[in-house]
Each structure stands twice: as structure tokens, then as C-alpha cells.
Structure 1
């Protein structure tokens, strides 16, 4: 059984609830993601998954929603 993993990202450009909803929908579609939490004021995206996350897929999902993960 895989261990649960929590990964935190900072997302640029989210300004409203619609932004949050778009990112949430795209990231939840990534295989292995079990939960998503987004804090709009800080731009913090917290992703829980079964085992290690494919970082590139999370970043691509955020970009598909129209936003960017901050470099770092």
C-alpha cells in the first residue's frame, strides 16, 4: 500500500472563486490525486496523493486551468 503524500505549490494569477474552481477541477483530474485544497489569498495549492506525485502533471494541470505554478 502506498503512503499518502502531501505537496504544496504556489500558484500565480488566481483572483476569485472561479479561478480556484478551475484549478481544483484540473488538478483533481490528475491520476493519484486524492484531495485538493486551495487558499486563494496566499495562492497556496495543497495536493494530497496516493504515493509520489508527478510534479510535471500537476504543473500542466494548473497551466491547463490558465495559471502558473511559481518557480521555486
Structure 2
């Protein structure tokens, strides 16, 4: 499981945009959001660098 801190993630719209971006990359990924902590956990077969690239392209770069 990969864990990221996403300082710009603050609402349901953010989680939706992130979900769409990561599901496009890996339709079977499992995502767990913690908005209060700005934390995202990702279970995926895709490698960490690809997940980070998708997050950056979606506008939510990890800290």
C-alpha cells in the first residue's frame, strides 16, 4: 500500500478528481481518503512513480 500526503486535497470534488485520475491508470486500484489529514492510501499494481505522475497531472502533487 502506498501512502501520500496531498496538501491541496480538501473536499469531495478533490477526491473525485483523484479517483478518476487513478482509476484511469489502474481500474482495480483501491483508494482510501482521509480528508482531515490530507492523506491518501493507494493499493495498486502500478508502480509508485506512475501514481505520483497521475496525481501531479490531476493537480494534487504529494508533499
TM-score range, shorter chain: 0.7 to 0.9
Structure 2 residue ranges without an equivalent (≥5): none
TM-score normalised by length of structure 2? 0.81
Higher helix residue share:
2
- CA distance in 2: counterparts of 1:58 and 1:68, whole angstroms: 10
Aligned to 2:47: 54
Cα offset, 1:33, TM superposition: 4.9
Higher strand residue share:
1
User: How big is the alpha-carbon RMSD for the aligned residues of Structure 1 and Structure 2?
Assistant: 1.7
Moved over 3 A (4+): none
Structure 1 residue ranges without an equivalent (≥5): 1-5
TM-score normalised by length of structure 1? 0.73
